[in-house]
Structure 1
Amino acid sequence: MTERILITGAAGGLASLMRPRLARPGRELRLLDVATPADPAPHEEVVTASVTDAAAVAEAMRDVSAVIHLGGHSLEGPWEDILDVNIHGSYVVLEQARLAGVPRVVLASSNHAVGFHPRVPEVPDYAFPRPDTFYGVSKVALEALGSLYHDSFGMDVIAVRIGTCFEKPTNARMLDHWMSPDDGARLFEACLNAPSPGFRVVWGVSDNTRRWTSLEAARALGYEPQDDSEAYAETIRAAEGERDPDRPPHNQIGGHWRLAAADPRNRTPRIDRT
């Protein structure tokens, strides 16, 4: 029997890293985005549409086993754009999944949902929301919608607070919160296959030596990270020098995003994509 998984935001950077790593015999990936994903494989079906288009999303939900919702603006932007695409678009995805009877949705949340959380030895999975930007607010709303759809309709929903996911960390901030692409695929597989997870909030990071976010909830789903950003630490330290964990941008989760949000004159943070 074919397993069909809908991936929204399928032309984005994270989805592009995950697509080949989530390929399995007997699994089809349905790729939804306003842009065309690069080089679709034979097991991939492309749907060109916005997550805000309820009719198109409803059609994309047909015969779907699960949804990985990565769609939305990945950077800070005007409130109107964030509200429409990130918040309303997430509602559309969850509502159309409910109407189609899709039993499980995995949501890409972010460290920016708790960006003002201070550095502690281990930030818990369910750290109370302290968003650092409008983008962070949208991820808080995303998690709240996921909770609502679980409690109201019994849908299994897992919100993954992703630190940063690139082929390798490129700055000192990423040494803390990096999730390797291979570990990202391991985590998404755990989210797809854990029996009856209900509603969960988990951190999406590798088991980094410098990690200060919990992996308890992710491991409870069956996630076993294999990678560590420390392999890149010497190179990054040589380029940036030693960092002070008690001073910005290393003393709170949100980094430079959090610093920019703290200044009411600046609503477009300098982005380090961490």
Structure 2
Amino acid sequence: MRVLVTGAAGSIGRVVTVGLLARGHEVVSLDRVPEPDGDQTRFHTVECTDPDAVAAVFAEERPDAVVHLAGHPDEASLPDSLTSHVVTTAALLDAMVEHDVRRIVYASSNHAVGRTPRRELLTTGTRPRPDTFYGVGKVAAEALLSLYADRYGLDAVACRIGSFGSRPETIRQLSTWLSPDDCVRMVDAALTTTAPGFAVLYGISANTRAWWDLEPGRALGYEPQDDAETYADSISPSPEDDWDGAHVGGPFATATYHRPALDRRG
């Protein structure tokens, strides 16, 4: 499969591009920054907010599917968050419709439900409950994917990624960790599952202490193999663990991230 990966120069993007290549996919990379050293793909330096530039890449490369990882990975103003997560997704979806590309895998986030109090296992049926404007952007992008799936019959899988990294670093991450290898397994499953329509899965590893239900992912063929519990003995409790685990969004659900929706300058 010829896969266009946006945000390919980012921390998740670099792992995913290498992993997809190893699984036999052909990868075309797109990012707003220049091609990183050692990249082994066809690389385009393009802003995903520019629909004409995005459409030109589709016309040149003719991908079979899109993996959309581009976006600012932290909090910003509401307009900036919507631009980063929703406008970029819209530009890609319009190009997909124009060039008859039928599958998109989207890097959503656990912060789409981050204000949910931590009580029991969360399913994908839990109502959207963003913890930040970042989370609002992810919820809105998921809604846009749903619209295009209904309107144009696209297949769109939103992966609500937990805590991506080489290993868990906190008590919370023993529940929310997504390993690099499982990240590649997740994306590959979302690319190759049969006719998912619009679907949501939680992007975490097979963690013993998981906060999110893995069954929606398993229904799409995602079978995580790693478990954060392997690292539990090396992680010491912290005074921050209580508030870090009060809501599923962790620190994003605390007052530290409270800010006005709009920047007022002048």
Normalising by structure 1, we get a TM-score of: 0.89
The match for 1:259 is 254
Structure 2 CA distance, aligned partners of 1:17 and 1:25? 12
Structure 2 CA distance, aligned partners of 1:262 and 1:229? 27
Runs of 5+ unmatched residues, structure 1: 269-274
Residues 175 and 209 in structure 2, CA contact (< 8 A), matched pair in contact too = yes
User: Offset at 1:41?
Assistant: 4.0
Find the residue that maps to 1:109 and give its secondary structure.
strand
Residue of 9, 12, 17 corresponding to 1:11: 9
Residue of 38, 42, 51 corresponding to 1:54: 51
The match for 2:167 is 168
Alignment of 1:1-274 (within 5 A): 3-24=1-22, 27-42=25-40, 44-62=41-59, 63-237=62-236, 240-241=237-238, 247-260=242-255, 263=258
User: Offset at 1:119?
Assistant: 1.3
User: Offset at 1:264?
Assistant: 5.1
Residues 126 and 201 in structure 1, CA contact (< 8 A), matched pair in contact too = no
Deviations, residues 74-115 of structure 1 (Å, cap 9, x unaligned) = 110122321222221111111111111101000110010011
- Aligned residue pairs total 261
Structure 2 CA distance, aligned partners of 1:14 and 1:71? 10
2:150 is matched by which residue type in structure 1? D
Structure 2 CA distance, aligned partners of 1:107 and 1:21? 16
Normalising by structure 2, we get a TM-score of: 0.92
Structure 1 CA distance, aligned partners of 2:208 and 2:64? 36
Q: Percent identity?
A: 41
Residues 30 and 60 in structure 1, CA contact (< 8 A), matched pair in contact too = no
Structure 2 CA distance, aligned partners of 1:263 and 1:99? 39
Distance 1:25 1:113, change over 3 A: closer
Distance 1:207 1:243, change over 3 A: farther
Residues 113 and 127 in structure 2, CA contact (< 8 A), matched pair in contact too = yes
User: Offset at 1:234?
Assistant: 1.1
Distance 1:77 1:264, change over 3 A: closer
Residues 206 and 226 in structure 1, CA contact (< 8 A), matched pair in contact too = yes
